[in-house]
């Protein structure tokens, strides 16, 4: 695909080529005139004289549109740069009056059937990929560069805090612990916990001995270490074994404690406030805040890494798939097609018609704001190539007319004089 600069270069080359062709043809007319004068050929002289006049006159007319011919400020030349404001105003009025006409637009909209054509265009894989590529290459990276990371992180933190404050964690915990009041769930859970503690105690018997040894006086020479550690270990193990028995006094006290805690969580507003405050204070810690801030950095990094994959980008391909699915779905939904067409025909059309003066003024003010010389050069680049045919035709038609006049003159002299 050519870039804009490449297109401008090709247009400049094409314009120069056509100017060269028109000038060359005028040069041929001059050469023929010299030959006709030298060899005294009246017919050729008539042709070449008229061709030169036609070519030069049309050269003047074409150049006068864009600039002063040969830099001479002749009256009514350089029409586009000097009449730019009037052209802009007339163009704005023309568009608002001729194009923004309800009857004409309604007919065109009926014929065009925008929704159907749009659905067919979107359902094609190539077109869906074009849109997705624009979004993935230009829009998303542009948004990521425009927004400030600090603002996004602050927004996430505020939202996170507001959502936490809106949650009653006491109710959640009470609801989650409600099954412990019923059946054997509480007893089974407590037994499992005690069993795990008992196993961990056995597995860490050597560690207990080591800790006891570190805490006993040096002068005991380790004589008390073994008995103390064994006493601690056996005492804890007996406690846990006793607690495992459903009817033991220890188990009853643990059950009472668990029951009281569940009742407080379920019915005590003070307990719920404490739970909420504990969780909120935890969420306010620096480590948690750093983690929250890192969420945006991770999201942004993941998006950029995915977009850098080009055609393999999951984001781009998902956007293309969504667009294509939407197009296919729209094609089969006649009700939605009618709604879209009616929306464009009624609402959008009304907006355009109600603001047609604004649109006309916008076109007029936009053209007026342009630099006259720049506008002239741009228009010449766009249409100057075709205008050179006027010069070419002027040279050829002028020569033919010269021959016709010469022929009429000869007939007059032959039959009348």
| 174 within 8 A of 261, measured Cβ to Cβ | no
Look at residue 197 in the predicted model and tell me its pLDDT.
Answer: 81
Instruction: Give the Cα separation of 136 and 17 in Å (integer).
Output: 40
Alpha helices, DSSP H, located in 40-136:
42-66, 79-82, 84-94, 102-112, 114-122, 125-134
Alpha-helical regions (H) of 123-268: 125-134, 140-146, 149-166, 169-177, 185-203, 205-215, 225-244, 249-267
Q: Which of 51, 63, 61, 60 has the alpha carbon at shortest distance from 393?
A: 51
Residue 219 pLDDT: 42
Tokens of 96: 């608002």
DSSP 78: S
Which pLDDT score is estimated for 182?
59
Residue at token pair 């830099």: 71
The whole-model pTM stands at: 0.48
In a 10 Å sphere around its CB, with 0-12 CB exposed, 13-18 middle and 19+ buried, how is residue 107 labelled? exposed
pLDDT of amino acid 217: 56
Q: What is the pLDDT along the chain (417 residues), one digit of tens a residue?
A: 344 456 678 888 999 999 999 999 999 999 999 999 999 999 999 999 999 999 999 999 999 999 899 888 888 888 888 888 888 888 888 888 877 877 778 787 777 788 888 999 999 999 999 999 999 988 998 888 888 888 888 888 888 878 877 777 777 776 766 666 555 666 777 777 778 887 877 887 777 677 766 666 554 445 556 677 777 777 877 877 777 777 778 777 877 777 777 777 777 777 777 877 787 787 777 887 888 888 888 898 999 899 899 889 999 999 999 999 999 999 889 899 889 888 888 887 888 888 888 888 888 888 888 888 888 888 888 888 999 999 999 999 999 999 999 999 999 888 876
Task: Provide the token pair at 139.
Answer: 């829009």
In the three-class reduction of DSSP (H, G, I as helix; E, B as strand; rest coil), residue 167 is classed as: coil
Tell me the C-alpha distance between 252 and 3, whole Å.
Answer: 84
Question: pLDDT at position 39, please?
Answer: 93
In the structure encoding, which two tokens stand for residue 319, read together? 């956007």
């Amino acid at each position: 695909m050519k870039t804009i600069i490449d297109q401008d270069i090709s247009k400049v080359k094409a314009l120069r080529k056509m100017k060269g062709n028109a000038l060359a043809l005028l040069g041929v007319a001059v050469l023929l005139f010299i030959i006709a004068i030298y060899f005294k050929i009246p017919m050729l002289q008539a042709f070449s004289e008229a061709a030169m006049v036609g070519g030069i006159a049309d050269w003047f007319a074409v150049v006068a549109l864009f600039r002063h011919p040969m830099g001479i400020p002749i009256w009514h030349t350089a029409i586009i740069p000097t009449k730019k404001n009037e052209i802009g105003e007339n163009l704005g009025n023309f568009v608002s009056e001729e194009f923004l006409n309800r009857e004409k637009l309604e007919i065109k909209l009926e014929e065009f059937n925008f929704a159907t054509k749009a659905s067919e265009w979107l359902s094609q894989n190539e077109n869906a990929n074009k849109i997705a590529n624009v979004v993935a290459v230009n829009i998303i990276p542009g948004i990521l560069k425009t927004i400030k990371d600090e603002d996004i992180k602050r927004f996430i933190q505020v939202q996170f805090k507001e959502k936490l404050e809106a949650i009653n964690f006491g109710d959640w915990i009470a609801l989650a612990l409600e099954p412990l009041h019923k059946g054997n769930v509480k007893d089974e859970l407590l037994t499992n916990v005690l069993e795990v503690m008992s196993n961990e105690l056995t597995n860490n018997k050597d560690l207990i001995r080591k800790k006891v040894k570190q805490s006993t006086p040096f002068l005991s020479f380790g004589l008390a270490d073994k008995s103390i550690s064994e006493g601690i270990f056996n005492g804890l193990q007996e406690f846990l074994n006793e607690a495992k028995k459903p009817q033991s006094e220890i188990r009853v006290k643990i059950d009472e404690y668990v029951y009281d805690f569940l009742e407080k969580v379920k019915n005590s507003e003070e307990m719920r406030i404490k739970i909420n405050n504990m969780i909120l204070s935890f969420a306010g810690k620096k480590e948690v805040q750093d983690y929250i801030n890192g969420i945006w950095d991770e999201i942004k990094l993941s998006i950029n890494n995915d977009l850098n994959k080009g055609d393999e980008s999951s984001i781009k391909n998902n956007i293309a798939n969504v667009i294509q699915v939407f197009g296919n779905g729209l094609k089969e939904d006649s009700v939605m097609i009618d709604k879209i067409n009616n929306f464009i025909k009624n609402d959008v059309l009304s907006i355009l018609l109600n603001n047609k003066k604004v649109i006309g003024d916008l076109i007029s003010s936009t053209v007026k704001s342009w630099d006259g010389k720049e506008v002239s050069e741009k228009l010449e680049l766009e249409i100057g190539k075709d205008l050179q045919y006027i010069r070419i035709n002027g040279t050829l038609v002028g020569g033919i007319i010269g021959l016709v006049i010469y022929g009429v003159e000869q007939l007059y002299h032959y039959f009348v004089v």
